[in-house]
Amino acid sequence: MTATASAKSTAKRRLGSSIDSSSNITTPHVLAHVTLSRTPIESTMSTDIANDPEILAHVKKFWEGRKPSSPIYQFLLDDIKLTHASKGLVRARLALTKNHVNTHGSIHGSVSATLVDWVGGLAIAAWDNRTKTGVSTDIHISYQSGAKDGDTIEIEGRAGKVGGSLAFTTATIWKLVDDKPGPIVATGSHTKYVK
């Protein structure tokens, strides 16, 4: 049995008869598993989590202390507004400018990645009012739709677990529509070494 035949046989066992054994063609429903949706995913942000003024004040102070030592944050996030904080949760808004978009006029992938990195650290700071949030060990971003110069985006970071050595965070970036979260622009996960 050739390697190709073996792979098809394995795929048939896993997917049923979805693989045509006479060729390299898969039936359309198999391809649907890897096809990107053209319809942006809508917001699923929970708005019932109360803002904690003490945690918000801590996160703002933490951010203001970190910003001067980070040229990339100064350049991209100088006008970002922190709007909400509670245990392990931070939200912010940013009006996009020409500095945030790519040559096609949509939010640059590196801006989304910077936001996932930034908000993950703040979510860790919001976990227990810590003043050190560690260093990145892993970061993933999934780009789902666009936002352009003049749009405002909402960024949410959540610390799912902050342990003795590692912290695990997630981030969601929405394009605002009528001042409410609309289509998801990007989602991400960020792991930091916090020991």
The residue assigned the tokens 């959540």 is: 158
The residue assigned the tokens 């930034």 is: 118
In a shared domain, residues 175 and 80: yes
CATH number assigned to the domain comprising residue 172: 3.10.129.10
pLDDT single digits (tens) 127-141: 999 999 999 999 999
In a shared domain, residues 156 and 90: yes
Residue 98, Cα to own-chain centre: how many angstroms?
Answer: 21
The model's confidence at residue 43, banded by pLDDT at 50, 70 and 90, is very low
Q: What is the pLDDT, as a whole number, of residue 50?
A: 86
In a domain, 41, yes or no: no
> 56 φ, ψ to 5°?
-60, -45
In a shared domain, residues 86 and 11: no
The model's confidence at residue 17, banded by pLDDT at 50, 70 and 90, is very low
In a domain, 43, yes or no: no
In a domain, 107, yes or no: yes
Candidate from 11-25, 100-114, 133-147 with smallest mean pLDDT: 11-25
The model's confidence at residue 45, banded by pLDDT at 50, 70 and 90, is low
For residue 24, give its domain range. 1-35
Q: State the virtual CA torsion across 154, 160, 162, 163 in degrees, nearest 10.
A: -160
Do 93 and 81 meet the contact criterion of CB atoms below 8 Å apart? yes
The model's confidence at residue 2, banded by pLDDT at 50, 70 and 90, is low
| pTM value > 0.85 | no
* Closest among 107, 121, 30, 120 to 76, alpha carbons compared: 107
* Closest among 176, 165, 191, 168 to 91, alpha carbons compared: 176
Domains: count for the chain: 2
Say yes or no to pLDDT of 7 above 90. Answer: no
The model's confidence at residue 109, banded by pLDDT at 50, 70 and 90, is very high
Do 86 and 49 meet the contact criterion of CB atoms below 8 Å apart? yes
